[in-house]
Amino acid sequence: MIGKADVVEFEPDGTPYPVEYKHGTRRKAGFIAACDELQLAAQALCLEEMTGRHVAEGALFYASSKRRRIVAITPALRAGVEQAVAGVRTLLAEGRLPPPVNGERCRACSLVDLCQPQALAAHDAQIELRRHLFDPED
């Protein structure tokens, strides 16, 4: 994994403490909050590898509420990161991209301008309409 962290603070003993900045407030839908935690945990694992120090926790900072939410980097989160990495490796090996979700999480996604999930959804709808356009049974 590679990436650029928003902020990395350092404890007095040199232990890194990742802080990930997010849009919105701390009151996010559970499945979106879980993605934020997974990203933070991935940063923690990278920082552990870089520094050789155990990273036990980090924080998500929400821009709208200007509040931090402390996140423990648990074994379950670490396993989730490993699972996500394995999933991405499989996609890369197979040379395919997952389809866009075009859902609630897209609204706050930093990739939405590049990904354009609504355009693809509209394209799929057009293909479906075209399939039935000249079908007299429809």
- Chain residues binding ligand SF4 by CB under 6 A are 100-101, 105-106, 109, 111-112, 115, 117
Nearer residue to ligand SF4 within complex by CB, 36 or 47: 36
Is the Cβ of residue 56 or residue 111 nearer to ligand SF4 in the bound state? 111
Task: Quote the least distance from Cβ 38 to ligand SF4, whole Å.
Answer: 13
Nearest approach, Cβ of residue 32 and ligand SF4 (Å)? 9
CB count in 10 Å sphere of residue 17: 17
H/E stretch holding 96: none
What span, in angstroms and rounded, lies between the C-alpha atoms of 77 and 44?
A: 10
Rounded CA gap, 34 and 84, in Å? Answer: 13
Which CB, 76 or 111, lies closer to ligand SF4?
A: 111
CA distance linking residue 15 with residue 21, whole number of Å: 20
Whether the Cβ atoms of residue 16 and residue 10 lie closer than 8 Å to each other: yes
Select 37 or 55, whichever has its Cβ closest to ligand SF4: 37
DSSP character at residue 134 = T
Smallest gap from residue 101 Cβ to ligand SF4 (A): 4
Please state the closest distance from residue 97 (CB atom) to ligand SF4, in A. 10
Residue 48 corresponds to which tokens in the numbers above? Answer: 């552990």
